[in-house]
Amino acid sequence: MLYVLAIIQSEDGRFLITRRALDKHWAAGWWEVTGGGVSAGETSAQAVVREVREETGLDVSGQPLVPVWRYRNVDLDRGDNYIVDIYHFHLSFRPEDVRLQEREAIGCQLATREQIDALAADGVFLHYERLRQALAAEAEGKPAPAPLAPPPASA
């Protein structure tokens, strides 16, 4: 399975984070960045544009659509195996421009890194270490990940 995450940073350097709906089966009420699963027939770039639009009402289609980081989770015992592409967008928007998808999020805020660090220290921020790695790699000028190869054709 392929997933996408979108780090959305405002002009003043703060990050858009959302609080997960309380009826989520996993990490209900925790804070996170926008993201979700890639649908069949969709590319990672198409999925991140769709997820951002659906979950926040913001449009990133005019931004560079290249992930800054990719990671693979392999847990064969639990069957928890997936790939995540992380994108980083710099957008000009106001908090009132954000239109949350009610079934996904109950709130949002523009947060500083320090505020996100504090949420992570409290154990209520999803994907923190991976997002930190993505931003560090981007700051160091590490190249973006190569596109994923399509699955082999079945015989």
Q: What is the dihedral of CA 25, 27, 83, 140, to 10 degrees?
A: 170
For the chain, give every domain's residue range: 2-139
d(CA 28, CA 37): 18
Phi, psi angle pair for 64, to nearest 5°: -60, 125
The predicted pLDDT at position 150 comes to 56
> What SS3 class is residue 139?
helix
Distances (CA, A) of 146 to 33, 38, 45, 67, 149: 23, 17, 13, 9, 9
The predicted pLDDT at position 11 comes to 96
The predicted pLDDT at position 149 comes to 59
pTM score, whole prediction: 0.89
Stretches in the chain below the pLDDT threshold 50: 155
Residue 70 bridge partners (DSSP): 85
The predicted pLDDT at position 153 comes to 56
d(CA 109, CA 101): 14
Q: Give the pair of three-digit tokens for residue 142.
A: 């590490």
The predicted pLDDT at position 133 comes to 92
- Provide the greatest CA pair distance for the chain: 53
* The architecture CATH gives domain 2-139: Alpha-Beta Complex (3.90)
Total Cβ atoms within 10 A of residue 102? 8
pLDDT for 43-75, tens place per residue?
999 999 999 999 999 999 999 999 999 998 887
Q: Give the pair of three-digit tokens for residue 47.
A: 């999925």
pLDDT for 80-90, tens place per residue?
789 999 999 99
The predicted pLDDT at position 33 comes to 98
The predicted pLDDT at position 122 comes to 98
